[in-house]
């Protein structure tokens, strides 16, 4: 599951990219699917641009829904249901939604918090005493709140295909196999780091506290009261429904892969990212985030979901204080569209799973929302999102000044320099500053002839891209409470500054 590596890069594309213009709006959208109405004139330019961007991205099928003032005003599908299909996609077509599943898991668990059955600050072992993580010291400090906000410090372990029966959520997470692969990269509560096992464990806590299977708990507490009748977890349910998209991906050997609904499943990762939905159905959840529904959550808990719990540090580091994680949701206090910056909350999440990419946005101050789903790997409809927000989101009072704190600051590079150590695999590594250039030496890669670019490419304050075997890896330098940089963080590697390398306090 590549969700957060892609998420960091794609979020940066939307928040920071200097789009002077959006896609041209001439041309017409493709034919409507069987469940779609003709496109109203008000949305014709957007629909044409979205369909054109779909084709430019090489996506065979995608769908999009727009919400204005809390109401769905446009929903439509484009292209075909798979790389080898001629059936048109419509707004009811099912796609895998990947990590957008996390918001459903968080909502169901917060319902139990509201009822007093779960305490957010209770340790996980109070609900799941048999969880199989070997480090008893860190495990004894791990709380439900930290799981829901990605502050556990756990390694992002996962496999695409695994056991499919509901019992495997508990069976695997309490097994020696899980214990052999999962560990703490840093102590719980140290900083944010996205890891899918956080939500696997949150789903197991939900299951134990609710006394029913994870799927049943989400259906009873979220899907049914919101009328989400086209959101499923089992591939068999999707196949029986019949209106679904196949994904387009590649195998490990590099050959094209037509990803059918039953191509893979994994019960112990379902709470993190294995749901299927349509844009029309998931739009009901976005409407709930905006307007609420007392049958699901009281407004206090719904607001808590959309309240920053931890600074993600992904855009501009701690100095920018722009991007945060709530519970199952990313919460930006401000965002940038092209040359215009808007100081208003943006709530969103994305998903990226083999063959599929998904995304939703909500601007709570105006009631604008957008959901799009696509059957291709790691694509991003950046220009279409910008066009939709500029056209329909009701945004006012833009600033031509860029958001503060996100610009690269080479004067900090000397503060990052030093020796760091990853005790869980890579071992020692050395960061060197030379003026406006920052480089990294990783002896473990050198010893195994693993190709990597020693020069780190800056993206925003404290954030860089490391290229390993040709793949871009987001890397962040994180300071401790004194302001001294002591951590290197990627999604799967955390290294701490060696004790005798005190570093410079900027």
3-state secondary structure 188-244: CCCCCCCCHHHHHHHHHHHHHHHCCCHHHHHHHHHHHHHCCCCCECCHHHHHHHCCE
Q: What is the pLDDT of residues 417-438, one digit of tens each?
A: 999 999 999 999 999 999 999 9
From 392, 422, 455, give the residue that closes a domain. Answer: 392
Which segment of 120-134, 227-241, 331-345, 439-453 scores lowest on mean pLDDT? 331-345
* Domain-located, residue 399: no
Q: How many domains does the chain have?
A: 2
From 392, 418, 437, give the residue that closes a domain. Answer: 392
Cβ contact 204:54 at 8 Å: no
The reply to whether 257 and 350 lie within a common domain is yes
**Beta pairing class for 437-441 and 335-337:** unpaired
Q: Which residues contact 132 (CB under 8 A, 6 or more apart)?
A: 173, 174, 175, 176, 178, 179, 182
Per-residue model confidence (pLDDT) at position 327: 98
The reply to whether 29 and 83 lie within a common domain is yes
In this prediction, residue 8 has a pLDDT band, given cuts at 50, 70 and 90, of low
The tokens describing 185, both together, are 């990269």
The reply to whether 459 and 328 lie within a common domain is no
In this prediction, residue 23 has a pLDDT band, given cuts at 50, 70 and 90, of very low
* Domain-located, residue 347: yes
The reply to whether 379 and 241 lie within a common domain is yes
* Domain-located, residue 46: yes
CA-angle at 502, arms to 140 and 420, nearest 5°: 65
**Beta pairing class for 330-332 and 323-325:** antiparallel
The reply to whether 336 and 458 lie within a common domain is no
- Positive or negative, the CA dihedral 74, 336, 193, 108 is negative
Percent of the chain surpassing pLDDT 90? 87
Which segment of 59-63, 83-87, 244-248 scores lowest on mean pLDDT? 83-87
Q: Exposed, middle or buried by CB within 10 Å (0-12, 13-18, 19+), for 198?
A: buried
Residue 90: domain span: 3-96+231-263+277-294+321-392
The reply to whether 352 and 382 lie within a common domain is yes
The reply to whether 365 and 482 lie within a common domain is no
Give the mean model confidence (pLDDT) for residues 380-409.
Answer: 92
Tell me the C-alpha distance between 488 and 475, whole Å: 7
* Domain-located, residue 418: yes
3-state helix, strand, coil in the chain (%, to 5): 30, 25, 45
CA distances from 203 to 127, 144, 198, 218, 270 (A): 11, 10, 9, 9, 8
Cβ contact 285:228 at 8 Å: yes
In this prediction, residue 112 has a pLDDT band, given cuts at 50, 70 and 90, of very high
The reply to whether 251 and 363 lie within a common domain is yes
Cβ contact 270:215 at 8 Å: yes
The tokens describing 27, both together, are 């041309």
Question: In the beta sheet, which residues pair with residue 489?
Answer: 476, 494
Tell me the C-alpha distance between 494 and 330, whole Å: 22
Per-residue model confidence (pLDDT) at position 138: 95
The reply to whether 286 and 435 lie within a common domain is no
The reply to whether 436 and 379 lie within a common domain is no
Give the mean model confidence (pLDDT) for residues 244-268.
Answer: 97
Element housing 286 (H / E):
helix 279-291
Give the mean model confidence (pLDDT) for residues 383-403.
Answer: 93
Q: What is the pLDDT of residues 300-316, one digit of tens each?
A: 999 999 999 999 999 98
Q: Largest Cα–Cα distance in the chain? A: 67
Question: In the beta sheet, which residues pair with residue 99?
Answer: none
Tell me the C-alpha distance between 107 and 206, whole Å: 10
The reply to whether 424 and 377 lie within a common domain is no
Give the mean model confidence (pLDDT) for residues 214-225.
Answer: 98
Tell me the C-alpha distance between 182 and 219, whole Å: 29
From 359, 392, 425, give the residue that closes a domain. Answer: 392
CA distances from 6 to 54, 145, 147, 270, 363 (A): 18, 24, 20, 19, 22
Q: Exposed, middle or buried by CB within 10 Å (0-12, 13-18, 19+), for 137?
A: exposed
* Domain-located, residue 369: yes
Element housing 29 (H / E):
none
* Domain-located, residue 398: no
Q: Domain of 431: which CATH number?
A: 2.40.128.50
Per-residue model confidence (pLDDT) at position 10: 52
The reply to whether 424 and 382 lie within a common domain is no
Q: What is the pLDDT of residues 185-211, one digit of tens each?
A: 999 999 999 999 999 999 999 999 999
Per-residue model confidence (pLDDT) at position 235: 98
């Amino acid at each position: 599951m590549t969700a957060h590596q892609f998420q960091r890069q794609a979020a940066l594309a939307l928040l920071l990219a200097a789009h002077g213009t959006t896609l041209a709006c001439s041309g017409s959208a493709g034919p409507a699917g069987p469940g779609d109405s003709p496109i109203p004139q008000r949305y014709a330019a957007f629909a044409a641009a979205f369909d054109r961007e779909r084709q430019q991205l090489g996506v065979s099928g995608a769908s999009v829904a727009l919400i204005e003032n809390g109401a769905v005003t446009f929903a439509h599908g484009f292209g075909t249901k798979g790389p080898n299909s001629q059936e048109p996609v419509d707004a009811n077509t099912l796609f895998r939604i990947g990590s957008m599943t996390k918001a459903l898991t968080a909502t169901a668990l917060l319902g139990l918090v509201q009822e007093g059955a779960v305490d957010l600050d209770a340790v996980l072992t109070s609900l799941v005493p048999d969880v199989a993580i070997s480090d008893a010291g860190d495990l004894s400090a791990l709380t439900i709140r930290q799981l829901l906000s990605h502050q556990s410090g756990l390694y992002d372990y996962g496999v695409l295909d695994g056991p499919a029966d509901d019992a495997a959520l508990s069976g695997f997470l309490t097994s020696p196999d899980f214990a052999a692969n999962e560990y703490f990269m840093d102590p719980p509560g140290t900083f944010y780091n996205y890891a899918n096992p956080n939500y696997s464990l949150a789903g197991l806590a939900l299951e134990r506290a609710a006394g029913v299977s994870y799927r049943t708990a989400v259906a009873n507490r979220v899907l049914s009261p919101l009328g989400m009748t086209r959101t499923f977890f089992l591939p068999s349910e999707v196949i029986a429904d019949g209106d679904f998209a196949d994904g387009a991906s590649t195998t490990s050997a590099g050959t094209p892969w037509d990803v059918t609904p039953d191509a893979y499943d994994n019960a112990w990762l379902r709470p993190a990212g294995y749901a299927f939905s349509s844009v029309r159905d998931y739009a009901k959840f976005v409407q709930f985030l905006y307007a609420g529904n007392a049958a699901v959550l009281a407004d206090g808990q719904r607001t808590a979901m959309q309240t920053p719990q931890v600074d993600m540090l992904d855009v501009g580091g701690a100095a920018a204080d722009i991007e945060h994680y709530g519970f199952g949701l990313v919460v930006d206090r401000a965002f940038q569209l092209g040359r215009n910056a808007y100081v208003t909350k943006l709530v969103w999440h994305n998903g990226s799973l083999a063959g599929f990419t998904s995304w939703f946005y909500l601007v709570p101050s105006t009631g604008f929302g957008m959901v799009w789903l696509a059957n291709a790997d790691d694509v991003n409809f950046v220009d279409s999102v910008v066009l939709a927000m500029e056209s329909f989101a009701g945004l006012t009072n833009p600033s031509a000044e860029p958001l503060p704190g996100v610009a690269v600051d080479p004067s900090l590079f000397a503060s990052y320099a030093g020796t760091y150590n990853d005790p869980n695999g890579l071992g020692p590594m050395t960061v060197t500053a030379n003026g406006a250039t920052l480089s990294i030496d990783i002896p473990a890669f050198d010893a195994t002839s693993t190709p990597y670019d020693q020069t780190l490419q800056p993206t925003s304050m404290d954030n860089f891209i490391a290229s390993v075997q040709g793949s871009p890896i987001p890397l962040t330098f994180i300071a401790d409470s004194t302001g001294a940089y002591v951590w290197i963080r990627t999604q799967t590697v955390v290294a701490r500054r060696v004790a005798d390398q005190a570093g410079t306090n900027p």
